[in-house]
């Protein structure tokens, strides 16, 4: 077996690369937060160069230049991992167009996010552009998470494991989770962490923005509790109930972190933890959506063993390497 086959063509390669992409994109959310929280947003005052006529940071730029330039360099790691996922999806036998499209989506969005990062520098860290830069990371996380969960499924038709109304509730949960994260971006844009001491804020009242964000959080918590109750009521599989409990747990930790940062004057470490929590919240919400449905293998496919759970009992189900049927991809 050659290197290409070992890294990209083995069963499960797409899933491994998708997981690596997911972790890498959570990592750049954290390093981007470090740039903002250390006031290093203009450590490199130009883009794509770090400074006029200078591609890299120099010792004269100090720690802020090193932090900002280091964050920029991580973009190349994201591109490399995204390319690995795309090659794995393309090399898979048989090829699944659904996985190729998702991997290509991550591959395309990473450079787009880098360009938005450049615009934030050109606009001297305009808070709305900075917020868009963070939301671009959330979109990439969503695509990467979808690729990860989708690569662990067979490619037959999706069948709900719960009534349609519960599926709709799961989709509403994900939508509200995204809205809560977006409101959190607005709160940040009104607060003290601009990424540079001289950068502007969005002009909104921080207390009003924080209250609006908190209202969204309470709505999300209520929907999550309702989801757990409904899943128990309809006898949903253990995997679905577990996903909902994980989401609720992340929400509670994120809520506690949010209130702590609010009442302690937004210390940088706690704000960074809150940014990590936002990423985990988004991934957990997507996991709930996927836990409410199941795909069966296509007929006549080759076996590929994965572990699934149904009604609390672990079992092994053969995911078969299905023939390429574009209508079902």
Let me know if 129 is exposed, middle or buried by CB neighbors in 10 A (0-12, 13-18, 19+).
Answer: middle
Q: What contacts 24+ positions apart, CB below 8 Å, involve 62-71?
A: 63/38, 64/38, 64/39, 64/40, 65/40, 67/34, 67/35, 67/38, 67/40, 67/43, 68/35, 68/40, 68/41, 68/42, 68/43, 68/44, 69/43, 69/44, 70/31, 71/28, 71/31, 71/32, 71/34, 71/35
**Calpha distance 98→241 (Å, rounded):** 27
Q: Would you give per-residue pLDDT tens digits along the chain (329 residues)?
A: 566 667 787 778 899 999 999 999 999 999 998 998 888 888 998 999 898 888 888 888 889 899 999 999 999 999 999 999 999 999 888 788 889 999 999 999 999 999 999 999 999 999 999 999 999 999 999 999 999 999 988 878 889 999 999 999 999 999 999 999 999 999 988 888 777 777 888 888 988 999 999 999 999 999 999 999 999 999 999 999 999 999 999 999 999 999 999 899 888 899 999 999 999 999 999 999 999 999 887 764 444 444 444 444 433 333 333 333 333 44
Task: Count the alpha carbons within 13 Å of 209 in the hemisphere toward its beta carbon.
Answer: 18
Q: Which helix (H) or strand (E) holds 308?
A: strand 302-310
Q: What is the pLDDT of residue 322?
A: 37
User: pLDDT tens digits, residue range 2-12?
Assistant: 666 677 877 78
**Calpha distance 17→80 (Å, rounded):** 10
Let me know if 315 is exposed, middle or buried by CB neighbors in 10 A (0-12, 13-18, 19+).
Answer: exposed
Let me know if 274 is exposed, middle or buried by CB neighbors in 10 A (0-12, 13-18, 19+).
Answer: buried
Angstrom distances, CA of residue 315 to CA of 8, 154, 155: 27, 15, 19
- Closest alpha carbon to 25 in 283, 319, 221: 283
Specify the length of the chain in residues. 329
- Closest alpha carbon to 254 in 229, 221, 226: 221
Determine the number of helices (DSSP H) and then strands (DSSP E) in the chain: 9, 4
Q: Is 61 helix (H, G, I), strand (E, B) or coil?
A: helix
- Closest alpha carbon to 12 in 79, 92, 81: 92
- Closest alpha carbon to 262 in 180, 178, 190, 175: 190
Helices 268-291 & 13-37 angle (0-180, nearest 10): 150
Sign of CA dihedral 197, 198, 204, 205: positive
Q: What is the pLDDT of residue 2?
A: 63
Task: Count the alpha carbons within 13 Å of 146 in the hemisphere toward its beta carbon.
Answer: 16
Let me know if 44 is exposed, middle or buried by CB neighbors in 10 A (0-12, 13-18, 19+).
Answer: buried
- How much is the pTM? 0.86
Q: What is the pLDDT of residue 309?
A: 42
Average pLDDT for the chain = 86
* Apex 149 CA angle, 144 and 150, nearest 5: 95
- Cis ω on the peptide bond leading into residue 110 (within 30° of 0)? no
What are the domain boundaries of the chain?
Answer: 3-324
What count of other Cβ atoms lies within 10 Å of the Cβ of residue 160?
12
């Amino acid at each position: 077996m050659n290197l290409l086959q070992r890294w990209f063509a083995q069963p499960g390669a797409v899933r491994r690369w998708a997981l690596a992409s997911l972790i890498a994109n959570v990592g750049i959310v954290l390093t981007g937060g470090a740039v903002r929280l250390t006031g290093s947003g203009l450590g490199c005052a130009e883009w794509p160069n770090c400074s006029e006529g200078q591609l890299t940071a120099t010792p004269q730029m100090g720690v802020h230049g090193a932090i900002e330039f280091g964050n920029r360099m991580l973009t190349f790691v994201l591109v490399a991992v995204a390319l690995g996922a795309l090659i794995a999806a393309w090399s898979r036998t048989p090829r699944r167009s659904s996985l190729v499209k998702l991997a290509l989506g991550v591959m395309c969005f990473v450079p787009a996010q880098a360009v938005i990062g450049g615009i934030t520098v050109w606009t001297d860290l305009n808070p709305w552009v900075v917020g868009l830069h963070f939301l671009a990371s959330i979109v990439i996380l969503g695509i990467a998470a979808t690729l990860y969960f989708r690569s662990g499924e067979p490619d037959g038709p999706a069948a709900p494991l719960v009534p349609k109304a519960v599926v709709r509730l799961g989709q509403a949960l994900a939508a509200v989770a995204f809205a809560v994260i977006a409101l959190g971006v607005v709160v940040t844009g009104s607060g003290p962490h601009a990424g540079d001491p001289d950068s502007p804020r969005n002009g909104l009242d921080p207390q009003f923005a924080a209250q609006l964000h908190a209202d969204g959080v309470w709505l999300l918590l209520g929907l999550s509790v309702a989801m757990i109750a409904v899943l128990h009521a309809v006898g949903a599989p253990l995997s679905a109930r577990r996903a909902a409990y994980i989401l609720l747990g992340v929400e509670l930790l994120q809520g506690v972190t949010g209130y702590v940062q609010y009442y302690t004057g937004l210390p940088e470490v706690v704000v960074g933890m809150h940014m990590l929590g936002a990423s985990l919240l988004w991934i957990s919400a997507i996991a709930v959506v996927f836990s409410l449905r199941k795909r069966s293998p296509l007929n006549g496919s080759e076996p590929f063993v994965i572990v699934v759970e149904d009604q609390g009992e672990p079992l092994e189900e053969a995911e078969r390497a299905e023939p390429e049927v574009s209508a079902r991809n």
